[in-house]
Amino acid sequence: MPRFEETDNEIRIYFEDIPSEEIRVRMKALHYRWQSDGRYWHTRVSEPAMILAEALCGRTAVGSDMPPHEPAYGSGMPTEERSGLTDVSDVLKRYRHICWYPSAGSDFREVLFLSEQYYKWKDVPKDSGQVLPDLFLLTDVYPNPDTFTGGYGIDPNVNGYTHIYKLTNRTIKPGDYLFSGTRLLTDIRIDSLERLKNVSPDINEAVCNMRRESYTGTAYLFHVTVTSGLLGTWKTDVLYAVTENVAFAKDVLLAEHIPVEYVIQIRYGNGFGGSRISGDWLSLLLKSLGCRYFIANDQYCRIYDPDDLLVEKVIKEIFNNGELQAPDYELIYNIDGVQWSNYGPVLWTRIK
């Protein structure tokens, strides 16, 4: 396995053999490109460079006593080691106001936008007795770990970075960041975490064209501190499960009768992100999921199109022709898409 070391002004990776073409492409994609002097590859110190070095080397630095990364799920971890972990469904039942964000990727803006601090700052209307989320539940099938590194070739001081990609080899730890960005004045730092039992739903080929990987099913509960230059500091919980969304809805949320009061649908895949069907499937489940507030791009907050027969046929077959009906939406609040997704306005709606 390659090893790396960090000096005052550069990061070096020592490879036993010439790095593969795939690795060289990833290294060249950085803003400060890696160079080779024959003994090692090196580049200027930056967070994306460090993220790549850690990913390639399993956090084993030259002269370091840090242990190599643990094997990923499905790669020989003993059954007895998994047996003592808590089920995701049992953890979800601890919370009363869950916000579910399917296909969340590395987007953690919901932690800001659905906070008491943001609601007070922007005077977002609230219903009588409404309680904002006490848990943010994020799911994603994780088609490509590289898409979760914060972006190679992107200055972390401008766009920020995330350590969420470490879920793929279970090296994520307290002190890592779900998000950190200097320009955006926001940090979401992991204070503590709980590794959970693997989520078991399979990937349904009718709705997803991604294959099952060794890390599919990985799940963690994070206790985090959010620090915002505009909103202040507060704590919240985030549960991230590497799983396919439709299967998770059927085999966990509905099967275990776990309501999700808030649902988010931002820039859903629809073919380019691994989904074989449009994001309209989610609207058919909102009432069954117990959703009261739907936060989504405006294109999803519309009257369901009955002509979308593919979505309706596939979803009803998966859910055994259950009572699936798209709701009506009542607008509560909205923001410009530039603030969240660059994919059209984002609407806060009430399910009628």
pTM for the model stands at 0.74
Torsion of CA 126, 134, 329, 345, to 10 degrees: 90
pLDDT of residue 67: 34
CB atoms inside a 10 Å sphere around CB 72: 18
Which residues, other chains included, contact 146 with Cβ-Cβ below 8 Å and sequence gap of 6+?
26, 152, 165
pLDDT of residue 2: 75
> Is-contact 107 99, C-beta < 8 A?
no
CB atoms inside a 10 Å sphere around CB 347: 20
Q: Would you call 220 helix, strand, or coil by DSSP? A: strand
In sequence order, what DSSP letters do the residues of 48-99 get, joined into one string?
A: HHHHHHHHHHTT-BTT--PPPPPPPTTSS--HHHHHTSBPHHHHHTT-SSEE
pLDDT of residue 12: 79
Give the H or E element holding residue 226: strand 219-228
pLDDT of residue 213: 77
d(CA 308, CA 300): 13
Helices 47-57, 21-28: inter-axial angle, 10-degree rounding: 160
pLDDT of residue 185: 80
Domain positions in the chain = 3-57, 84-351
Output DSSP code: residue 167: G
d(CA 180, CA 231): 15
Per-run averaged pLDDT (10 residues), the chain, 352 residues: 72 71 57 62 66 61 37 34 81 97 90 97 96 96 50 47 81 90 80 93 72 84 95 97 91 95 85 63 91 93 62 78 81 93 90 92
pLDDT of residue 181: 75
Per-residue pLDDT reduced to its tens digit, 220-277: 999 999 999 999 999 999 999 999 898 899 999 999 999 999 999 998 765 445 666 6
